[in-house]
Amino acid sequence: MKRRAFLKAGGAGAAVAASSALAAPAIAQGKMQWKMVTAWPKNLPGPGVAAQLLADRITALSGGRIEVKLFAAGELVPGRGVFDAVSEGTAELYHAVPAYWGSKSKGILLFGSQPFGLRADEQVGWLTHGGGQALYDEMYGRFGLKPFLCGNSGPQWAGWFSKDINSVDDLKGLRYRTTGLASEMCAKLGMAVQAMGGRDMFQALQSGALDAGEFIGPWTDSALGFYQVAKNYYWPGVGEPSSAEECGVNLEAYNALPDDLKQAVALACESLYNPVWTEYTTKHAAALQKLVAEQGVQVKMLPESVIVAMGNAAGEVMTELREDDDELVKRTVESFLAYRSSIADYMVYADNGQMNARALDYKY
């Protein structure tokens, strides 16, 4: 996941200057020059790589009629400022994750990841076949944005811990980095939840300001060096069974496009979802082997009692969302829960059955 605001904040003066300079798309010789701002350092393994792929693919699928230039976190606006920057027209589109925008609406958090929620393929299923995209559009339309999913990290990890977790009592007071709805789940278990970027998480673990934290998974986590400051790597990351990456497009700019270019932007996002997801999965697997063999990382499973307690806490979070004052949030959570119930019943026989069978001891 839960990608993180792994950023180097820029100065306020630079952001104001960028806003005045970039308020409208430059058009030269029939070409539009669009700015993509991201929540990531340039080419950070995982989300930073995916953001550049998306910028390049929009340019290619538009036949060069939309030239997308990527600005990493802090280059034009801070990573956590990309939502507002595109909403206000400072840039035309951003690459980030819905988990960062809970202050805008709790309902937004459901479109990226949900504790004990949907897998990466199920997330697309909900949006495409379960009514989720219409709710996604309605929610982001409030802020002048058109949203698209454009990738997924797959299952995230519970993260890096400085000490063993043997019971629910070990979580109380634990200073832990996470984000999104997982933050609310953990807080209900007495954890002292903190939100911060990847570099800040490394420094906090190193100094002892944090006891534990999760970021994404082995590929990205290796690049950030968390294994240097904590050796206990816990799974499963039930706070984020998947974490969708999104592209938010300024709605006015999107609506001004001719139909073929609207299709180019949409197809660029849709066509990258599986390649990004499968790259994460493939490189997570290879990175985990190296972490264990070369860095002495101890892979450990959370006790079942802890997982059950987290599940109960996640249920409390969902109950609160169902009682939210915002009617759109209520409709969103009911849609999510209905799809989750249906797909979870089926997966017992389908994917769960296949994975359990593959894990049995036999010659192959």
- Reported as a single tens digit per residue, the pLDDT across 305-318 is 999 999 999 999 99
Read off the amino acid at residue 164: D
For 95, the 3-state DSSP assignment is strand
Residues of each annotated binding site for Na(+): 215
Q: Assess contact for 41 and 75: CB atoms under 8 A.
A: no
Rounded distance, CA 44 to CA 118, Å?
25
Can you state the percent helix, strand and coil of the chain, rounding each to 5? Answer: 50, 15, 35
Burial status of residue 197 (CB atoms within 10 A of its CB: 0-12, 13-18, 19 or more): buried
Question: Is residue 2 pLDDT above 80, yes or no?
Answer: no
- CATH no. of 159-240+297-358: 3.40.190.10
- Reported as a single tens digit per residue, the pLDDT across 52-104 is 999 999 999 999 999 999 999 999 999 999 999 999 999 999 999 999 999 99
Rounded distance, CA 63 to CA 27, Å?
15
Residues of each annotated binding site for substrate: 156, 177, 214, 240
Question: Is residue 24 pLDDT above 50, yes or no?
Answer: no
- Reported as a single tens digit per residue, the pLDDT across 312-349 is 999 999 999 999 999 999 999 999 999 999 999 999 99
Rounded distance, CA 99 to CA 124, Å?
16
Residues of each annotated binding site: 156, 177, 214-215, 240
Rounded distance, CA 322 to CA 140, Å?
19
User: What is the per-residue DSSP string for 247-264?
Assistant: EEEEHHHHHTS-HHHHHH
pTM over 0.85: yes
Q: Which CATH class is domain 12-154+241-282?
A: alpha beta
Return the domain boundaries, the chain: 12-154+241-282, 159-240+297-358
List CB contacts of 323: < 8 A, sequence separation 6 or more: 330
